[in-house]
Structure 1
């Protein structure tokens, strides 16, 4: 019977189970995620090499003129090393790890989840998935507040395949804003990619101008009307608040429209 149970455990029947219990599933990018990982032993003893957690999301990629959804691991954390999960026994490991600053926010249709698993050689690896609600990094939030103050309305948030700008990831999260006041009629939209860091934030702005006359129409038709602009704010600049950031961003955009 013991051999039969081991055979079943290799395909997941009667095997160990893992469950992540998160203290608070609403968290800002860059903050600590804390909780407990609970492992319930199955019908037989099993050797576990690693207990790990992936921070996961999805992004859109075009393949053969079709948009497909891909999964991406933003980061991996080792929660526990090699040990034996004895049959019918329960184990709990407290965990604490920092959510990467570049974790996408869960706006629009962007999901973020923690995938916890046990690495068991020559056997079924049990996994658990837990959704988390991610708000913007504090540095990104200041800039978003500044953009809103400038009279822009957030229209869409999406994760798109862009390995060139992903900083080690295959995608970027784009925030698309439309002007409602000063830049209305001069600008179609403003797209921003945020790269928050501990000591500041870098922005990649895509400034899409409105077509003006025949020359503008040709530029749009040839997809050359978009300008990519990089800028950075350090912590001391961000500490001045959204009013100061709004002024600097407005001056920057005016140079391109």
Structure 2
């Protein structure tokens, strides 16, 4: 028994923790659910507490940041016996204003089991944050038109998340790339389209702001021809859509920042440093069982610098 206790302190034969989620893919605002499993080891052990951290990792051109979005503490200590199994329900409503998962944005839960006088047990569970249905309808419509989302799509520059597509059939000879950022509103989605055209001088960048109502977003029979017409007009009348990139982006950001019907404080496509603070101030719902509460811990302060750095 003495040897078993010694080995358990080093982690071999110690209690283990496992967060078992019902699924791995979720949309913005969806409920994450599952159960927290604590499995006893070979000897009795005192558990000081359990924390579950919801983390976001963001790669930008300059750096990689790992951010604690929310911490769910499980208060109180308890003893777990050899071979004993304890399970606790877990649920969490995802915010509606997170970046979407992509090559530069990832999410995961880290579960930490604090074992008194021994090596702690940890568990890591990645999850994918998928587009809300209205935005997914745009992706689907572009795919039907012959555009394929690029590997480097959904990049984040500290302010906006951009979606990038390559033409595979429609406009393949005219355009090199199609990109956009999106502002989610209650009545529809506002897009800032950017198309790179082939030209005799190299490439020509065109920009156009587009408003798409929900009735169009919800009807593929309307959405596909609408996008086809918009993109065709950009190619056929390029001089009508040439803009200074920085000034146009600034105008678009300013317009979205005043949207009162946006999903949350910001949406996929418009991320400002002050909005990260809003996530923490608003608070999220977590449920470990009846009568228990969760406290916000992680702050986004300094993640991408202040507003003057954007």
Same fold, judged at TM 0.5 (above): yes
Q: Normalization by structure 1: what TM-score?
A: 0.66
Q: 1:128 to 1:248 in 2, by over 3 A?
A: same
Count of residues in correspondence between the two structures: 228
Of the candidates 123, 127, 131, which is equivalent to residue 126 of structure 2? 131
Q: Normalization by structure 2: what TM-score?
A: 0.57
Secondary structure at the aligned position of 1:128 is classed as: strand
CA distance in 2, matches of 1:52, 1:199: 36
Match of 1:117 in 2: 111
CA distance in 1, matches of 2:183, 2:70: 19
Q: 1:238 to 1:188 in 2, by over 3 A?
A: same
CA distance in 2, matches of 1:252, 1:74: 40
Match of 2:135 in 1: 140
Could you give the per-residue CA deviations for residues 136-178 of structure 1, whole angstroms, max 9, x where no partner exists?
321122101221233323343444340021xxxxxx3533232
Match of 1:36 in 2: 35
* 1:98 is the counterpart of 2:96: no
CA distance in 2, matches of 1:119, 1:236: 48
Match of 2:191 in 1: 203
Q: Which moved more, 1:11-20 or 1:21-30?
A: 11-20
Match of 1:169 in 2: none
Native 8 Å contact 1:115 1:127 kept in 2 = no
Native 8 Å contact 1:58 1:159 kept in 2 = no
Native 8 Å contact 1:117 1:125 kept in 2 = no
Q: Which runs of 5+ in 2 are unaligned?
A: 239-310
Q: Greater helix percent: which structure?
A: 2
Could you give the per-residue CA deviations for residues 187-214 of structure 1, whole angstroms, max 9, x where no partner exists?
2110234555676444343221222x3x
Native 8 Å contact 1:111 1:131 kept in 2 = no
Match of 2:48 in 1: 47
CA distance in 2, matches of 1:244, 1:194: 19
Secondary structure at the aligned position of 2:140 is classed as: helix
CA distance in 2, matches of 1:145, 1:116: 33
Native 8 Å contact 1:175 1:193 kept in 2 = no
How far has the Cα of 1:238 moved from its partner?
1.9
Q: 1:152 to 1:161 in 2, by over 3 A?
A: closer
Match of 2:221 in 1: 243
Of the candidates 122, 147, 151, which is equivalent to residue 152 of structure 1? 147
Match of 1:86 in 2: 79
Could you give the per-residue CA deviations for residues 61-109 of structure 1, whole angstroms, max 9, x where no partner exists?
346xxxxxx364484352x531213133533221222344445346xx5
Native 8 Å contact 1:137 1:196 kept in 2 = no
Q: 1:12 to 1:71 in 2, by over 3 A?
A: farther
CA distance in 2, matches of 1:243, 1:126: 52
Match of 1:20 in 2: 19
Native 8 Å contact 1:204 1:231 kept in 2 = yes
Q: 1:117 to 1:238 in 2, by over 3 A?
A: same
Taking CA–CA contacts closer than 8 Å with sequence separation of 6 or more, which of the two structures ends up with the larger relative contact order? 2
Native 8 Å contact 2:167 2:176 kept in 1 = yes
* 1:226 is the counterpart of 2:225: no
Could you give the per-residue CA deviations for residues 95-142 of structure 1, whole angstroms, max 9, x where no partner exists?
222344445346xx5784532323749986542122345543211221
Q: 1:81 to 1:93 in 2, by over 3 A?
A: same
Q: Greater strand percent: which structure?
A: 1
